[in-house]
Amino acid sequence: MQKLGKQTIKFDSPITITETASIVGPKESNGPLAKYFDKCLEDEFWGEKTWEKAESKIIKEAVSMSVVKSKVSSDNIDYCFAGDLLNQCISSSFGLRDLGIPFFGIFGACSTFVEALSLASVFVDGGAAKNIIAAVSSHFCSAEKQFRFPLELGNQRPPSAQWTVTGAGSAIVSKGGEGPFITSITTGKIVDMGIKDANNMGAAMAPAFVDTLITHFKDTGRNPSYYDGIFSGDLGYIGKEIAIELCQTQGYNIKNNYNDCGVMIFDKETQDTHSGGSGCACCGTVFSGYLFNQLKQKKYNKILVIATGALTNATSSQQGESIPGIAHAVSIENSIN
Amino acid sequence: MQKLGKQTIKFDSPITITETASIVGPKESNGPLAKYFDKCLEDEFWGEKTWEKAESKIIKEAVSMSVVKSKVSSDNIDYCFAGDLLNQCISSSFGLRDLGIPFFGIFGACSTFVEALSLASVFVDGGAAKNIIAAVSSHFCSAEKQFRFPLELGNQRPPSAQWTVTGAGSAIVSKGGEGPFITSITTGKIVDMGIKDANNMGAAMAPAFVDTLITHFKDTGRNPSYYDGIFSGDLGYIGKEIAIELCQTQGYNIKNNYNDCGVMIFDKETQDTHSGGSGCACCGTVFSGYLFNQLKQKKYNKILVIATGALTNATSSQQGESIPGIAHAVSIENSIN
């Protein structure tokens, strides 16, 4: 591997995303990307008694499905990197407690999926592992209950609010292979521009996205047109517009090939989610379902995925704190330069 | 690096813990290890308005102190791995938001400090970084409030309960150097033996500790007597006894050179904490304060630190779930074999 600048690592030897799997909830199953997901659930419980147990089952099954699809024997999987949005990441730890694979819990809020891919790629490239699971989950009901209001309250959501995706995405990252390859990672710094509105996460996270994106361009010498597509994790409609404008002011035009997973996963007209989707599983399922498929089909050959996280909780909001954001980028390409 | 078995990595090139720093709260400042900590606070607030803000300040200052002590320019620090016990790890993200260093948030409950050292050592050995910050915090008041009862309630604690350490530990992990060296890591699997008592974390975590410890012995071909000292993170008095017994039944006698950071940090007679200390900062401060000092003084030359985590939260306990445990080991030695 080569370090480019302070935040980017370029991988010279092949690191393949061997397989992915995605499971989504009922709302996502009615969205425009439904056909790309491996499993679409009919309700938010999936036979479990609580939303938290359902979320654990979703990540467990998504991980298991990705391992089966990859045809890698689970004996040959060296590590699992996983995280979620629940307090103390219980979805991952309960869902994956029977896995029997060395486990690293991670937390990057909604940036967790790319954090997992980043750590996995450094482990694989450095010789610490041959195959690694990178997985995340989120769940609309468990997240609303925990971060906002009890669902039973039926409170009105402001127009800037986003809708936490119910689902899980899991990827198997492997040494060698035939691609799609993880060719570089750009790891984000925490960026806090003082936004305090917990119902406007897109605005809070957009500066972190732009910081990581432009750092990636500067470190690699690339510009937006290098990529067939640039995808943010869950800036939503509002954050997406802010991101495009902020990039413009810094001389980068990303309008033509940039989209946001939170914008893509729900239909704006028929599925009013206000500002779009969010949650670890937003980027996790859109990548593991749609984007991975497009790479395999060669409809995209070079993409940059930048998952965005709001590093906040209910207590910090109540204590008047602003919302620190973070964004981690991974470039995934069908060939290695 | 070499993989030994499924869970252990042995590092052949030198990875040094260049410096550490530790800050502790008032109770820890009256304990037997007080003189080893860099800063002892007089109260749980340190001039802040809330316990959460105090905890953020503690990790921020501990990290800053470790960087200053290390004499590594912060421009030359490539990554920060950090985590804590608060929901969504806000102590780390708020405390370290001005750091300006690529940031990976991690969550391993009280195993987080060794998780951070493990990830840092793989990054350094693989060539991804020259210097990395590994840091954790916990705070008695913010943890009690979040995991158990409001402190104002003055509820009685059962004898098996442990006392969350207020403090933060931070270490600078560097390529090369003159030691103490991180010579191997053994990464734990999640182990759930069905313990459900959230006031007996030691019992819940002891099987994970034993699993990782014995795996470490088998993978490395070492036995307990190889080490000058073996230290668990925060099994406390009850967990420590269980761990010794479980090891005995598997043919390993660790009685002579094993202790627990949660047992060491408070005085049993004068500071009744019931079953001892716990929290990310228990292992984090005992290592960064006491153990690192003993290594530098050559009083210990080979130690094995196994931080233990209970991967649970308040909701999972209320939903009748058991408590999955995890334990990560790192061996730290003054010379490289």
Is pLDDT of A209 > 90?
Answer: yes
Please name which of B236, B335, B224 lies closest in space to residue B279, comparing C-alpha atoms: B236
CATH code given to domain A13-175: 3.40.47.40
Is pLDDT of B233 > 90?
Answer: yes
Q: Closest Cα of chain A to B220: distance in Å?
A: 16
Nearest to B313 among A3, A87, A109 (CB): A87
All residues of chain A having their beta carbon less than 8 Å from the beta carbon of residue B93 are: 190, 311-312, 324, 326
**Predicted local confidence at residue A208, as pLDDT:** 98
- With beta carbons less than 8 A apart as the criterion, state whether A211 and A5 touch: no
A76, HSE (Cβ side, Cα atoms, 13 Å) = 12
All residues of chain B having their beta carbon less than 8 Å from the beta carbon of residue A1 are: 126-128
**Would the CB atoms of A122 and B109 count as touching at under 8 Å?**
no
**Would the CB atoms of A311 and B99 count as touching at under 8 Å?**
no
**Predicted local confidence at residue B198, as pLDDT:** 87
Determine phi and psi for A326, rounding to 5 degrees: -145, 150
Is pLDDT of A266 > 80?
Answer: yes
CATH code given to domain B2-175: 3.40.47.40
**Would the CB atoms of B316 and A108 count as touching at under 8 Å?**
no
What is the DSSP secondary structure assignment for residue B322, as one 8-state letter? -
Determine phi and psi for B164, rounding to 5 degrees: -65, 125
Per-residue pLDDT of B69-93, as tens digits, reads 999 999 999 999 999 999 999 999 9
A13-175 shares its CATH topology with A181-333:
yes
**Predicted local confidence at residue A337, as pLDDT:** 72
Q: Closest Cα of chain A to B219: distance in Å?
A: 14
**Would the CB atoms of A188 and B102 count as touching at under 8 Å?**
yes
Inter-helix orientation angle A236-249/A201-220, to 10°: 40
Average pLDDT over chain B reads 97
Compute the Cα dihedral for B166, B172, B173, B178 and give only its sign.
Answer: negative
**Would the CB atoms of A1 and B85 count as touching at under 8 Å?**
no
* Closest chain B residue to A105, measured at CA: B107
pLDDT range class, residue A259, cuts 50, 70, 90: very high
Cα distances (Å, whole numbers) of residue B256 to B81, B227, B228, B252:
33, 11, 10, 11
Q: Closest Cα of chain B to A52: distance in Å?
A: 8
Q: Which of B56, B80, B93, B278 to mutate to test the interface with A (most CBs of A within 10 A)?
A: B93
Please name which of A191, A165, A144 lies closest in space to residue A58, comparing C-alpha atoms: A165
**Predicted local confidence at residue A198, as pLDDT:** 87
Is pLDDT of B337 > 90?
Answer: no
All residues of chain B having their beta carbon less than 8 Å from the beta carbon of residue A134 are: none
With pLDDT > 70 as the criterion, what percentage of chain A qualifies?
100
The answer to whether the pTM exceeds 0.90 is yes
Average pLDDT over every residue of B133-146:
97
**Would the CB atoms of A128 and B122 count as touching at under 8 Å?**
yes
ipTM entry: 0.98
Domain B181-333 is classified in which CATH homologous superfamily?
Answer: Stage V sporulation protein AD (3.40.47.40)
**Would the CB atoms of A103 and B188 count as touching at under 8 Å?**
yes
Per-residue pLDDT of B162-198, as tens digits, reads 999 999 999 999 999 999 999 999 999 999 999 999 8
**Would the CB atoms of A127 and B123 count as touching at under 8 Å?**
no
- What DSSP element (H or E) covers B52? helix B51-70
Determine phi and psi for B293, rounding to 5 degrees: -60, -45
* Closest chain B residue to A116, measured at CA: B104
Is pLDDT of A279 > 90?
Answer: yes
Nearest to A127 among B50, B126, B319 (CB): B126
Omega before residue A159 within 30° of 0, cis = no
Nearest to B90 among A78, A125, A311 (CB): A311
Domain boundaries, chain B: 2-175, 181-333
